Structure 1
Amino acid sequence: MVDVTAKRILVVDDDAVIREVVAACLQHLGSWDVLTAASGKDALRQADTEKIDAIVLDVMMPEMDGFAVLQCLRSNPTTQLIPVVLLTAHSYLPNPDRLPKLGVVLTIFKPFDPVDFVRQIAQALQG
């Protein structure tokens, strides 16, 4: 069984309010160490240089969307095995059957319940 309390999670979202809410949920309800990134480029830099156990990744972002970030993560030997939780406001995702093959362990739709959000992530990281 994985000890999820010791995890370091990178939260990637271009919306500062969402980023802060997600980080607060993970820190206060999940007791995890949380890093944040406001863009895909920043996320890739942090994932490559920091010890990251999981990434909560917004799908819709300017310049580089979540799927582009996911492709870059998977093509880098340093980041290719980091589990990813997609966070999206859209109920439609292209090719949802391909997501597990890309390392997506969970998809969460906005808006979310903070307690359920943390519980779902804890379960996904254990499994």
Structure 2
Amino acid sequence: MSVILLAGRKKAIGKKRKVVKKVGVGCEGKEPTMTASWRLTTSGKKACISFSRDNMNVYVDGEPIECVAYITDNGYDLDLIFNLGTKKGHIYSDVEGTEMTNYLFFDEQLVAQDKQTNLKSGHRPDEF
């Protein structure tokens, strides 16, 4: 399933607004709210990977790293592309209605997922 999901995302990324996020940009003066965090082992090292939809930054062990953000669907879908050592990371965050699902991929393999419900958003991707 992860290959199918990622293949569809690659096609959609080409139609998105691209934002290059320099390290730490958008979080000056205030503590960011983390949308999702995952603890995992990659390349033999333990790491905590987090991201914030508020400032579109990716964090490794609490430190912001450089990433590229792609935004679509009026800001409700977010793709964050980054590198961690030799691995290519990809976080995809999808909001539909009152649910948000966040996916973490490394080298095009789904390694973690986080689902949040009861959001205040009434967003429906099919409605304009």
Please say whether Structure 1 and Structure 2 have the same fold, judged by a TM-score greater than 0.5: no
Q: Which range, TM-score by smaller chain?
A: under 0.3
Larger RCO, structures 1/2 (Cα 8 Å, 6+ apart): 1
Structure whose CA Rg is larger: 2
Greater strand proportion: 2
